[in-house]
Amino acid sequence: MAVALQGCLFAAGSLREGMDDTLTLMRLGIDGQLSKTLSSTNPCESMIEIVRYTQRNVKRWQPGDMRKRWTAAGMLVAEQQFRRIIGYRDLAKLVIAIERHALLAAEKDRDRQESRQPVTV
């Protein structure tokens, strides 16, 4: 019983973690295969695992520059295994939706700033 309850808690935590991203995709009007692809963390987790595998034999970590080089080397190895994004044909639709959202957010921010300034008579 305790194991089942713990499983439910993990599932609930996972659902909460992805809720904002899912709602963002819905707000932007992104659906179908692209939405399914962007809702998953698998591509990122796969790349991170390949980077870790590439870095497994590094014994002496030098200052930040060397860490960046090894990370970049791992990402280049991971790049060879990347596949086409499922729903890639809708990427233009995503770009337009993000630009529209950014413009609306900028307008709202500008309106808020104008309304905060005191009116002098």
pLDDT tens, the chain, 121 aa long: 555 556 667 777 766 766 665 667 888 888 888 888 887 778 888 888 988 888 887 777 777 677 788 888 889 988 888 887 888 888 899 899 989 988 988 888 777 776 666 656 5
- What end-to-end distance do the CA atoms of the chain give, in Å? 70
Residue 19 lies in a domain: no
Please check whether residue 54 is in contact with residue 73, taking contact to mean a CB–CB distance below 8 angstroms. Answer: yes
Residue 8 lies in a domain: no
What's at 57, amino acid-wise? N
Residue 23 lies in a domain: no
pTM > 0.75: no
For the chain, the domain total comes to 1
Range of the structural domain that residue 72 is part of: 31-116
Residue 121 lies in a domain: no
- The residues, any chain, with a CB within 8 Å of residue 75's CB and separated by 6 or more, are 47, 50, 51
- Tokens representing 118 are 């005191």
Q: How many helices (H) and strands (E) does the chain have?
A: 5, 0
For residues 88, 48, 77, 43, the Cα torsion angle rounded to the nearest 10 degrees is -20
Residue 59 lies in a domain: yes
Residue 9 lies in a domain: no
CA distance 13 to 73: 33
CA distance 35 to 38: 5
